[in-house]
Amino acid sequence: MNLSNWVSIILILSTLKPQITTGLSDISQQFLEFAKKDQVFEWMVGIRRKIHENPELGYQEIETSNIIRQELDKLGIYHKHPVAVTGVVGFVGSGEAPFVALRADMDALSLQEMVEWEHKSKVPGKMHACGHDGHVTMLLGAAKILKHHSHLLKGTVVLVFQPAEEGGGGAKVVVDSGYLENVKAIFGLHVSPERPIGQVFSRPGTLMAGSGFFEAVIAGKGGHAAIPQHSIDPILAASNVVVSLQHLVSRETDPLDSQVVTVAKFEGGGAFNVIPDTVTIGGTFRAFSKEGLMRLKQRIEEVIVGQASVHRCNATVEFSSKDKPLYPATINDAGLHKFFEKVAGSVVGLNNVKEMSPFTGAEDFSFYQEVIPGYFYFIGMKNEKNDKPESLHSPFFQLNEDVLPYGAAMQASLAATFLQESQRQSQNSEHKDEL
């Protein structure tokens, strides 16, 4: 190839990148403006409130799935159901590769809502206290944006409406379903009540901890509280177990390797003057690595069984089951972090894209990240009228609906931009092959 040909190719490539970058910024702002339109915003608010009034627990999201499918039908978006028992997977775009996925979790929590408002939960003892009703709405909003701008999609966006995030490991069931086999990347978000609206937060690498649950039955010999020498006291044994379990973090773990063991359940006895036969304790353990999580699992069982034996009791320990699997750590793909910063900056402005510290909450989005490059982030939704917003999983939790357009535009922009960049990389690769 002569020099003039090389110069021509270099000039062409040098002009492509600025055009693409400018185009992506324009697309992101176009998406956000579309999501903020009164009719679109009101549509999202209506969906969110309908879901909020009818909360459903993991793998029971029948009405939620119905709402999702009805809205996808109205948008003319092809979808599959059921996926992972009650889940829905939709497809928008060309129907061909490349594929990128967006995920929203659907399930509510076993909480009685304490906020009095027009659209309070109508189901006693159940509430959307973690914002999943908002997540579903924002993904439907992203679907509406993408469908309206489908001419910009250079591939296919897979819309994953996932059941059972709250302990049920619904993400793993979705992965096992095979619907994501050809997906090149997946993005997920979570609302953050204490962070300013219009800002997004994440980090490369480890973002959240892996987690597991345990439950133990400590058996002794019941009897009259006035003559304890004739009994074998499981309450005393269980009390020592709880104290000893705390030593796993304070005395067996590197202080620079954050881990958590919390006993949150302690049940035994029903009378002030009777020593019970058994006591049941349970809790959670967290670590930022698979090795740390498995070590805690092993030592928790050894400590419970050993301490029970010291107090002449027997103990049986059960860990996370098929219904409540161990969650891996949530680890963001390093390459996708730079991509996320660029796209998020085009939506909300670079000064509103913040890096956060890792924390010991857990997310089953991590199951996707074990098999697909994945990226998870938080989107602020603090209501300026409320100086002290209630935290996630509180019966007083309130979702600020002003966040809905931002989440919808963010997800749509990430998907559309990823497809465009995938196409550009493929074209550049073809040019190299020709050279």
| Binding positions for Mn(2+) | 130, 132, 166, 190, 393
Beta strands 205-208 and 183-196 are unpaired
Distances (CA, A) of 421 to 98, 346, 418: 10, 15, 5
Q: Report whether 303 contacts 317 (CB < 8 A).
A: no
Distances (CA, A) of 139 to 136, 162, 390: 5, 11, 24
Query: Angle at Cα 34 formed by Cα 68 and Cα 387, nearest 5°?
Result: 80
Q: Report whether 303 contacts 242 (CB < 8 A).
A: no
φ/ψ of residue 327, rounded to 5: -95, 130
Q: Report whether 121 contacts 128 (CB < 8 A).
A: yes
Q: CA–CA separation, 83 vs 101, rounded Å?
A: 15
Q: Report whether 109 contacts 173 (CB < 8 A).
A: no
Among 198, 172, 103, CA closest to 142: 103
Q: Report whether 40 contacts 140 (CB < 8 A).
A: no
Q: CA–CA separation, 119 vs 203, rounded Å?
A: 35
φ/ψ of residue 230, rounded to 5: -90, 0
Name the β-bridge partners of 353.
200
Residue type at 266 in one-letter notation: F
- Kindly report the length of the chain: 435
Asked if the peptide bond before residue 98 counts as cis, ω within 30 degrees of 0, the response is yes
Treating both helix axes as pointing N-terminal to C-terminal, what angle do 404-434 and 38-53 enclose, rounded to 10 degrees? Answer: 110
Judged on CB neighbours under 10 Å (0-12, 13-18, 19+), 105 is: buried
Binding region: 130, 132, 166, 190, 393
Radius of gyration, alpha carbons of the chain: 25
Among 416, 377, 352, CA closest to 151: 416
Q: What is the DSSP string of 272-305?
A: TTEE-SEEEEEEEEEESSHHHHHHHHHHHHHHHH
